[in-house]
Chain A
Amino acid sequence: DIQMTQSPSSLSASVGDRVTITCQASEDISKYLNWYQQKPGKAPKLLIYDASNLATGVPSRFSGSGYGTDFTFTISSLQPEDIATYYCQQYDDLLLIAFGQGTRLDIK
């Protein structure tokens, strides 16, 4: 099974800061990496699909990059409404899915 290592597990930042979260796969997963935002008591929301593509309606301050085993999720200018937990999620050729452990983001 492919293992995902997401870091950091928690992060504090100020409004306007650039925020970066990383996700590392235990083996090459090509571009098959998605990112989600989850707010308390709510279902996750797909933000980025296939490593770098913005899902419909997602603000452009969110972005993703990477290929193979190393991936990065970035918020270019943190807004108060971005406070949430963020998850990476990979899938493979067998359509098996695994989520990262999550990164809890709050305001400093």
Chain B
Amino acid sequence: QLQLQESGPGLVKPSETLSLTCSVSGGSVSSSSSYWGWVRQPPGKGLEWIGSVHYSGSTYYNPSLKSRVTVSADTSSNQFSLKLSSVTAADTAVYYCARTAYYFRVVIIGFEFWGQGSLVTVSS
């Protein structure tokens, strides 16, 4: 069974870069039928897609965050990561890593597998 686990600092200072890693087990980041993504949720608010990556190196970003976001995949360690620069208090959220669904040999751009989430607080 595929499992995803986020890791990284729980506290980041304003203007610094938030860095999170998602470790994948029970599956491979190198799978051609998978896209790996990051979704965040500010406390008490809704879901916001941040960005996604395919092992081939293709990346896809939320236009509202694109200038500050980098998502990358490391096939050697079976992980993928998120970097969000110049953070402010508005970036305080639970950050989830996730994998797209795959049905009947078709990639569905919807997230079927999720990590448990990692709370990141931006504060000095």
Contacts and interface: CB of A to CB of B under 8 A. Distances in A.
A96 to B, nearest CB: 6
A34 B48 CA distance: 14
Interface in A1-59: 1, 32, 34, 36, 38, 43-46, 49-50, 53, 55-56
B101 A96 contact: no
Contacts of B111: 44, 46
Contacts of B116: 43
A55 B101 contact: yes
Contacts of A89: 47, 49, 110
A96 B63 contact: yes
A contact residues, range:
20 to 34
Contact of B60 (A46, A49, A55, A94): A94
A99 interface: yes
A75 interface: no
A87 interface: yes
Interface of B: 35, 37, 39, 46-49, 52, 60, 62-63, 96, 98, 101, 103, 108-112, 114-117
18 contacts: A36-B110, A43-B96, A43-B114, A43-B115, A43-B116, A44-B39, A44-B47, A46-B111, A50-B108, A55-B112, A87-B47, A89-B47, A91-B109, A95-B52, A99-B47, A100-B46, A101-B46, A102-B47
Interface of A: 1, 32, 34, 36, 38, 43-46, 49-50, 53, 55-56, 87, 89, 91, 94-102
Given A89-B49, A89-B110, A99-B39, 10 more contacts: A43-B115, A44-B96, A46-B110, A46-B111, A53-B103, A87-B46, A95-B52, A97-B37, A97-B52, A99-B48
